[in-house]
Amino acid sequence: MEITGLILGVIVFGVIACRLLSVIYYWRNKGVPSARIVPFFGSYSSLLAKRLTFSGFQQHIYRTNEAAKYIGMMDFRTPAILVKDPELIKQFAVKDFDAFPDHKRMIGASADSLFGNMLFFLTGERWKQLRVAISSTLTPSNMKIMWHSVSEISADLSTYLKQHPEHTKSIEMKDAFRRITAETIATMIFGMKIDCVKNERNKFYEWILTATKIDSTLAYMKYTLYRGLPPIAKLFRLSIISEKSVKFFRNLLVNNLNKRKNSQLDKPDFVQLFLAARAKRVDSKISVDDLMIQLYNLVFGGFDTSSTLMCYVAYELAVNPNIQSRLRLEIDQCLRDGNGVISYESLTSLKYLDAVVCETLRKYPPLPWTDRICRKTYELPEAVPGGPPVTLEPNTVIFFPIYAIQNDPKHFPNPEIFDPERFSDENKAKILPYTYIPFGAGPRMCLGQRYAVMVTKVILADLIAKFVLKPTSMTPVPLKFAQRTPGLTIEGDLCLELTPREH
């Protein structure tokens, strides 16, 4: 009996050891350069130990082999590759989209009915149907309709700051931009005016902070469980988003819809545009809950993205006064030509402002990376010169390293230097396609990019016209990125001085 038990123990140990070794050497056996793989944790051990930020972790893998077109890794227990070659990114995102049509579904609808049904995680016909409905509300013509509301909000902020100079000696820009972004979301999505810049205890602002907070330790643990051990996360029905915040926004939407129905309101906001788009499609099966989920998708995707983008633009202008001065000259000229007003058409024609925003998105993309899932067996070229061709198996995760490729000196020399001239008319044409993808690429590209960029340009143009942005003794130079969030968030406060201009 003892010998039999010993033999069984050896067999079990051997099976487990072989299983672990097959995971550890999965990519090396295919002739693919591989990041370090640790059983159960995959390639994420250094990230989970908080030794690296998401951006730093990504760059670490990206630099594993300079000559490789892609690097093998493990997304916990799932084989994955990090793609370095721009031509391969184009293949995955555009040319062969049918083989890579989806993001990895981190969380199911049964566990989190709101987060799990957001457009980012949907697949198949449901994704296509809702994508058409949402994209029809985010057209250039609709952005033009909403531009006026954003301009009014921006002007209100500038007026408030001028009337309260005690706030401008050292203003925390993250909070300021979050508040004005919340104001634009309330106006552009729900047609509401909330005045959260003046009202520090504004209810809408407090709930939007709660609903979009994903940088807490608890949220980080839930995110890790869903990524690494989804059966356990689903078993306990762990929700990423606060149920109370879901209830708040659903009640807000229902009340909003009832007011429109009873008073025949026709406001130029996303709710109205979304309803109009649904009405045009007789086959539409988009319910109120669908509308709630996708409006929340705009809230979740637009709030932190827009406010953080504004922070990075403001920071770079503050620490690069020459660039700020040149941008101000362009804005001042635009105001003179427009009799003191920057119209929607003139806003889109401000080339240096566009270059500043583009360079900010290059250096600080909203998400450090995005992914795709391989849905069918797919043949890849060799990872390194002289290596064997590689077969991707279904369910392999494909990572596009947005931050790393946009900060690769091979594609953008001296990437740490903030240089808007990279995006001048002359230089923009020289950028290698698919090395600049701040909002992703292909049909899965972020639909809210036009909204985020428009809001950022309106607010920053108004601020630059009326204030000089300067760093303070509390301004972090260089900036540090937060570790417990998948986005590229600034660690700590971002304090700047806003000095009113003398006109």
SS3 396: coil
Tokens at 167, concatenated: 């706030």
Side-chain half-sphere of 238: how many Cα atoms within 13 Å? 21
- pLDDT at site 144: 80
Question: Are the C-beta atoms of residues 243 and 221 closer than 8 Å to each other?
Answer: no
Q: How confident is the model at residue 331 (pLDDT cuts 50, 70, 90)?
A: very high
36-45, 209-218, 362-371, 374-383, range with the lowest pLDDT: 209-218
Instruction: Give kind and range of the element (H or E) at residue 471.
Output: strand 467-471
Q: Is residue 436 part of a domain?
A: no
Identify the top-confidence range among 143-152, 212-221, 237-246: 143-152
Per-residue pLDDT tens digits for 146-197: 888 888 888 888 888 888 888 888 889 988 898 888 888 888 877 778 888 7
Q: How confident is the model at residue 10 (pLDDT cuts 50, 70, 90)?
A: low
Instruction: Give the span between the Cα atoms of 246 and 252, in whole angstroms.
Output: 10
- Structural domain count, the chain: 1
Q: Is residue 365 part of a domain?
A: no
Q: Is residue 299 part of a domain?
A: yes
pLDDT surpasses 70 at 333: yes
- In angstroms, how far is CA 353 from the centroid of its own chain? 21
Mean pLDDT of 264-269: 64
188-197, 282-291, 325-334, 441-450, range with the lowest pLDDT: 282-291
Q: Is 261 exposed, middle or buried (0-12, 13-18, 19+ CB in 10 A)?
A: exposed
Identify the top-confidence range among 25-39, 107-121, 189-203, 207-221: 25-39
Q: Is residue 486 part of a domain?
A: yes
Instruction: Give the span between the Cα atoms of 131 and 371, in whole angstroms.
Output: 18
The domain in which residue 201 lies consists of: 105-306+448-503
Average confidence score pLDDT of the chain: 82
Name the residue with higher pLDDT: 140 or 322.
Answer: 322
Name the residue with higher pLDDT: 372 or 23.
Answer: 372
Mean pLDDT of 368-380: 92
Q: What pTM value is reported for the model?
A: 0.90
- pLDDT at site 15: 47
Q: How confident is the model at residue 377 (pLDDT cuts 50, 70, 90)?
A: very high
Q: Is residue 409 part of a domain?
A: no
Instruction: Give kind and range of the element (H or E) at residue 1.
Output: none
Q: How far is CA 125 from CA 101, 102, 281, 285, 307, in A?
A: 11, 12, 15, 12, 32
- pLDDT at site 227: 65
pLDDT surpasses 90 at 51: no
Mean pLDDT of 310-321: 96
* Cβ count near 322 (within 10 Å): 7
Q: How far is CA 374 from CA 81, 179, 446, in A?
A: 11, 40, 20
Q: How far is CA 451 from CA 34, 166, 189, 314, 439, in A?
A: 38, 32, 11, 18, 12
Side-chain half-sphere of 37: how many Cα atoms within 13 Å? 25
Q: Is residue 415 part of a domain?
A: no
Q: Is residue 199 part of a domain?
A: yes
Q: Is residue 243 part of a domain?
A: yes
Find the CATH number of the domain harbouring 248: 1.10.630.10
Name the residue with higher pLDDT: 65 or 45.
Answer: 65
